[in-house]
Amino acid sequence: ADTKGAFIAGEKAAEEKLAAAKHTVLEKSSELVHSAKHAAHDANVKAHELGHTVEQKVESAEKIAEQKFEQSKHAVSEKASEAKAKGAGILGATHHALATGAAIVSEKVKH
């Protein structure tokens, strides 16, 4: 009877150890799953942030390019206006010189 009792006690102890081991495995598995989910979430957040940062940099570059284009357009327009004004001045001076020359020739012809 002692042997039977020892056998039953041994069997019960083995079952308890097995149950404890099963509990530990489940606990560790749950921790690993939680850790993996957390890591995946963190990676997703970082990817989203990186994507957002890239988007902002592209938008910023586009704005800078637009500003540079507008500045260039303005500078070209200013230079064109200056050239036009100089041309008009030269044309006016030439017209005045021709008119003055014509008047002098006219006076000389009369005399």
Q: What is the DSSP string of 17-73?
A: HHHHHHHHHHHHHHHHHHHHHHHHHHHHHHHHHHHHHHHHHHHHHHHHHHHHHHHHH
The predicted pLDDT at position 12 comes to 92
Retrieve residue 30's tokens: 């749950």
User: What pLDDT is recorded for position 109?
Assistant: 85
Note down pLDDT in tens along the chain; length 111 residues. 688 888 888 899 999 999 999 999 999 999 999 999 999 999 999 999 999 999 999 999 999 999 999 999 999 999 999 999 999 999 999 999 998 988 888 888 887
Token couple for 13: 């102890």
Q: What is the pLDDT of residue 1?
A: 62
* Coil, helix or strand at residue 111: coil
> Residue 102: its pLDDT value, please?
86
What is the rounded distance in angstroms from the CA atom of residue 12 to the CA atom of residue 109? Answer: 143
Q: What residues contact residue 37 under an 8 Å CB cut-off, 6+ apart?
A: none
Reported pTM = 0.46
